[in-house]
Structure 1
Amino acid sequence: MRHAIALTLLSLCAFSSRSFAEDAPAAVAASASGDSFTAGLGLAYVPEYAGSDKSRVLPLPVLERTFSNGVFLSTQGGIGYQTKLGDFSLSAALGYDGGRKDHKENYFSGSDALKGMGDIDGSAQAVLSAGYQLGKVGLSVSTKQNLGHREYGSTYTLGVTAPLYTDATDQIGVGASAVYGDNKHMQTYFGVTAAQSAASGYRAYSAKGGFENVAAGVHWNHVLDSNWSVRSAVGLTRLIGDAADSPLTKRKTTPMLMTALIYRF
């Protein structure tokens, strides 16, 4: 979870960039073979955990290798396979969630606001996604299923992106998403058991399955030349339902920003 927040914005940037490809000559030339390697480094301003009232700036590495047969390796999407059938796209991947620490290990990890809540261990995840291109609008649905810790539950995400402005060097668009968490997921990240209440001081709280958050953002891809580009995004995430009412939630609406310098080989 601690890395997933930052990668949400990066994924929106990447998804929007792909959806603009038909209008951007440089992108068409780079992706014509279906085989590419992208590397980059960026910064992301994100909350310490979902619901935290404190944020920090984290380094954001970007690595993505795609093959013409549909196989991909990516810091944002894991290791998997993707295919396109007309206006439909499908993908399946093995990803990883970094979990959550109940104390501040260092500047990059954990939060002292969670003392006594116990750690949420990192876990391998199956990530399944489907998309549909409706004219200029990209629609998507995806799910993350925990494999290493089934007790952590699963999430389901609905997303939409649309272009605002596109030319040979700049692609600007908007994106929005809504995340649904099942009972196990919501209790893991937003619930407080009796034992956790005694250890942390937070009141006991049972979080039921439902929509966890909605998010919206603006993303901008600026092409510097045939190899270099800059991806940036700014957005807001709003916790809703039982996630918003959790005693762990100190701020319901959180701003997020990211920017990354990208090189395409």
Structure 2
Amino acid sequence: MKHMLALAVLAASAATGAHAQEFGFAGREFSVDLGVGVDVGPDYPGSDDAKAGPWLIWRNAGFTQPGSDLREGFAISPSFGTVGEREASDNDDLSGMDDIDAAYELGLRVSYGTGPLTAFGSVRKGFEGHEGLTGEVGAKYRTDLSDRLSLWSGLSLGYGDGDYNDTYFGVNADEAIPGRPAYDIGGGFNKAAITFEARYAVTDTIALLGEVEYGKLIGDAADSPVVQDEYQPSLKLGIVRKFSFGF
């Protein structure tokens, strides 16, 4: 997995540099916040219990004018995600359900920034825990409270294909029991979320990040008999370093 992430970063950097002149990005710079932190969120999709896990941070990628932090125009960058393992022995509500290994997701994120507004979409392929496709579409708005503190407020919709949704929200015939009938689910939007992010610049390159997300399962995912709570809040805290590449 580490090799996959490294290759993705190198590929994105190479592609960005190769096409900078072609798409009119010459004279601008590409910057991104990279770091690590902790993510406290649902134990598994639909759980009413919380669990802490690692947060691999790739944030605020995009093109800017030198000396500016506003992302302008189109940007393509890697998108990473993880979903923790789900073990039936950890929750009485999952008795008789198959265990699901931790999943690692790798894909691409496309964004378009204009002033303080950024629209984005991402798609990722899962490995190990699930082998489906998942991602988000949404937009966020930036507010600068000072030279060091910036806030983002955003809206997003999460989706998954049939493989993804069936892994976390489906119930097969062998797992069905009274009160938990078999449930077949296809692909589609599965979560709506409101997010609030904060970035505090400790130095020109080091910053602290925080994010609060208030998510709600929607559609067929919300109706799954596996879901114990439709509301899926999460809290993330981390530290990042800003990397910039001029063209």
Name stretches of at least 5 consecutive residues in structure 1 with no aligned partner.
1-31, 62-74, 105-109
Could you list the per-position Cα deviations for residues 11-30 of structure 1 after superposition, in whole angstroms to 9, with x for gaps in the alignment? Answer: xxxxxxxxxxxxxxxxxxxx
* 1:136 corresponds to: 116
Secondary structure class of the residue paired with 1:194: coil
Question: Is 1:51 aligned with 2:46?
Answer: yes
1:208 Cα offset (Å) = 2.3
Cα separation, 2, equivalents of 1:234 and 1:83: 22
Could you list the per-position Cα deviations for residues 135-175 of structure 1 after superposition, in whole angstroms to 9, with x for gaps in the alignment? Answer: 321111111123568x7421242021111234311001102
> What's the TM-score, normalizing by structure 1?
0.66
Percent of aligned positions with the same letter in both sequences?
26
Cα separation, 1, equivalents of 2:116 and 2:231: 29
Question: Is 1:90 aligned with 2:70?
Answer: no
Aligned pairs for 1:1-80 within 5 A: 38-40=34-36, 42-56=37-51, 58-60=52-54, 75-76=56-57
1:134 Cα offset (Å) = 2.7
Cα separation, 2, equivalents of 1:137 and 1:96: 23
- The answer on whether the counterparts of 2:206 and 2:241 sit within 8 Å (CA) in structure 1 is yes
Q: CA 1:119 to 1:99, structure 2 compared with 1: closer, same or farther past 3 Å?
A: farther
* 1:225 corresponds to: 203
Cα separation, 2, equivalents of 1:140 and 1:178: 11
Secondary structure class of the residue paired with 2:175: helix
2:100 to 120, 130, 148: 120
> 2:136 corresponds to which letter in structure 1?
T
Q: CA 1:117 to 1:180, structure 2 compared with 1: closer, same or farther past 3 Å?
A: same
How many correspondences in the alignment? Answer: 207
* 1:169 corresponds to: 148
> 1:185 corresponds to which letter in structure 2?
Y
Cα separation, 1, equivalents of 2:118 and 2:201: 21
- The answer on whether the counterparts of 1:102 and 1:116 sit within 8 Å (CA) in structure 2 is no
* 1:102 corresponds to: 87
Cα separation, 1, equivalents of 2:188 and 2:29: 41
> 2:121 corresponds to which letter in structure 1?
V
Cα separation, 2, equivalents of 1:188 and 1:260: 29
Secondary structure class of the residue paired with 2:98: coil
> 1:194 corresponds to which letter in structure 2?
A
Q: CA 1:153 to 1:226, structure 2 compared with 1: closer, same or farther past 3 Å?
A: closer
- The answer on whether the counterparts of 2:31 and 2:63 sit within 8 Å (CA) in structure 1 is no
1:217 Cα offset (Å) = 1.2
- The answer on whether the counterparts of 2:214 and 2:233 sit within 8 Å (CA) in structure 1 is yes
> 1:145 corresponds to which letter in structure 2?
K
Q: CA 1:76 to 1:43, structure 2 compared with 1: closer, same or farther past 3 Å?
A: closer
Secondary structure class of the residue paired with 1:243: helix
* 2:25 corresponds to: none
| C-alpha RMSD of matched pairs (Å) | 3.2
Could you list the per-position Cα deviations for residues 56-81 of structure 1 after superposition, in whole angstroms to 9, with x for gaps in the alignment? Answer: 3x2535xxxxxxxxxxxxx345xxxx
Question: Is 1:186 aligned with 2:165?
Answer: yes
Could you list the per-position Cα deviations for residues 6-53 of structure 1 after superposition, in whole angstroms to 9, with x for gaps in the alignment? Answer: xxxxxxxxxxxxxxxxxxxxxxxxxx976888545x433211111111
Q: CA 1:212 to 1:260, structure 2 compared with 1: closer, same or farther past 3 Å?
A: same
Normalized per residue, which structure has more helix? 1
Cα separation, 1, equivalents of 2:143 and 2:240: 22
Could you list the per-position Cα deviations for residues 220-253 of structure 1 after superposition, in whole angstroms to 9, with x for gaps in the alignment? Answer: 1112334543211112001001110001111111
* 2:181 corresponds to: 203
